[in-house]
């Protein structure tokens, strides 16, 4: 509090000046700080603070490593069971890592959660060398991809985010990357909400507490090196609106998360206000995102339909996948339930990902069923049109791959 002895206009003027000068902004108090919040659908920027200032990305770098890995999977250059060799260079990476040894091999299905949850530096190099031959060549691929996305202020020198004075990005560029990961690879987005994973008998837990502590957050990535401070990229849903936020340069993980929560709260309010004034606005700050078309990951093909009894469960969001074997005769009223989600697109993407993991299973339909549970509107993701034994076997396979599932009877439900 300030004691103001003056009276009249001079005293009030002094009080106003002192109050304006008293609270330092985040940028003033912390020169490493930068932040941006945007509407994921419109690209409209709802908050920006030093969003175009050069910063060290730290382990947010691994989002681009994952992007190129997902792209290779989409092109069928990599599969979940692809075993990648571990070089001496990869094995030498400092903490954080999963203690890989030279000469070992690491499957893609283990590499993805290791990068998301553990932020493993040795795994980042394994992926880099598998895709680029060398880590330095992969870094050039990363930078080239960044340029194609209009991440104009980003340069990568390694795949992990370990300290390198030449490796830099901005909050705005990393928001572009976050958005592209979600839109280009929706079938893989669920990995970014993974809370833990086990590898060779050891369980690792995520540093991303935003997923657990802020309602609506369903993923993205944290990062830290001494030069960068604590960074986080976050995506959150409230109602039908999705926001993406990036906070860089936090002094602690706790203060970074608190700032992100504050910015998301304000962002949702701001987005609602702007939506109400949409007809009156003439211009707005928009995130510059590449016009490169988003790839269509699930390609529907006409196939034999399930018996009529399943059509009663025909759902608001539904896609058909090709059947790889002849359809069995009998009761096809069983399904594998993958989970319940807040938005139908997320449920469909999760179910589509599950279907891809079951390449030898007769999957007739990927379906999403709207339900109301405790006054909450949710969307159940299911693989439907199976025999009971098929469904049980499918769920067992998914469970072995770390995906939660449940066998359910759809006939009469």
Residues catalogued as catalytic: 59, 62, 119
Instruction: Report yes or no: 195 and 206 within 8 Å, Cβ to Cβ.
Output: yes
Nearest by Cα to 111 from 128, 96, 100, 127: 127
Alpha helices in 133-286 (DSSP H): 135-148, 171-184, 210-213, 253-276
Q: State yes or no: cis peptide before 86, omega within 30 of 0.
A: no
Q: Residue 26, Cα to own-chain centre: how many angstroms? A: 26
Sign of CA dihedral 162, 163, 165, 170: positive
Structure tokens that stand for 107 in this block: 């499957």
Sequence-distant (≥ 6) Cβ neighbours of residue 48 within 8 angstroms? 35, 36, 37, 171, 172, 285
Instruction: Report yes or no: 363 and 353 within 8 Å, Cβ to Cβ.
Output: no
Cα distance between the two ends of the chain? 64
Three-state secondary-structure class, residue 3: coil
CA of 233: how far to CAs of 41, 96, 151, 174, 380, in Å?
A: 17, 19, 15, 8, 27
> Could you give the CA distance from residue 126 to residue 303 in angstroms, rounded to a whole number?
39
Structure tokens that stand for 281 in this block: 């606005």
């Amino acid at each position: 509090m300030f004691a103001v002895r003056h009276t009249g206009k001079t005293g009030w003027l002094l009080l106003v000046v002192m109050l304006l000068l008293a609270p330092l902004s985040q940028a003033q108090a912390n020169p490493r700080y930068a932040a941006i919040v945007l509407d994921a659908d419109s690209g409209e920027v709802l908050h920006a603070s030093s969003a175009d200032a050069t910063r060290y990305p730290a382990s947010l770098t691994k989002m681009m490593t994952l992007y190129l890995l997902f792209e290779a999977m989409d092109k069928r250059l990599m599969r979940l069971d692809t075993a990648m060799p571990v070089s001496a260079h990869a094995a030498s990476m400092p903490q954080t890592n999963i203690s890989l040894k030279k000469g070992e091999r690491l499957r893609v299905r283990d590499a993805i959660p290791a990068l998301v949850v553990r932020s493993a530096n040795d795994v980042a190099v394994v992926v880099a060398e598998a895709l680029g031959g060398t880590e330095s060549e992969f870094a050039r691929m990363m930078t080239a991809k960044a340029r194609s996305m209009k991440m104009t202020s980003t340069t990568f020198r390694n795949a992990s985010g370990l300290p390198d004075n030449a490796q830099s990005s901005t909050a705005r560029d990393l928001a572009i990357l976050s958005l592209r990961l979600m839109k280009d690879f929706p079938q893989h987005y669920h990995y970014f909400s993974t809370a833990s994973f086990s590898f060779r008998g050891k369980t690792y837990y995520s540093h991303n507490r935003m997923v657990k502590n802020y309602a609506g957050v369903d993923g993205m990535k944290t990062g830290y090196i001494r030069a960068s401070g604590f960074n986080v990229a976050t995506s959150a849903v409230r109602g039908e609106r999705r926001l993406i936020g990036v906070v860089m340069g936090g002094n602690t993980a706790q203060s970074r998360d608190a700032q992100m929560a504050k910015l998301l709260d304000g962002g949702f309010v701001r987005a609602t206000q702007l939506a109400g004034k949409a007809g009156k606005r003439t211009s707005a700050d928009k995130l510059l995102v590449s016009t490169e078309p988003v790839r269509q990951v699930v390609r529907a093909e006409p196939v034999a339909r399930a018996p009529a009894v399943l059509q009663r469960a025909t759902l608001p969001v539904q896609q058909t996948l090709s059947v790889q074997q002849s359809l069995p005769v009998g009761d096809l009223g069983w399904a594998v339930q993958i989970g319940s989600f807040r938005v139908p697109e997320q449920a469909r993407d999760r179910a589509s990902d599950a279907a891809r993991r079951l390449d030898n299973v007769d999957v007739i339909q990927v379906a999403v069923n709207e339900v109301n549970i405790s006054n909450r509107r949710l969307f159940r993701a299911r693989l439907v049109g199976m025999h009971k034994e098929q469904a049980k076997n499918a769920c067992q396979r998914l469970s072995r791959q770390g995906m939660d599932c449940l066998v359910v009877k759809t006939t009469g439900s």
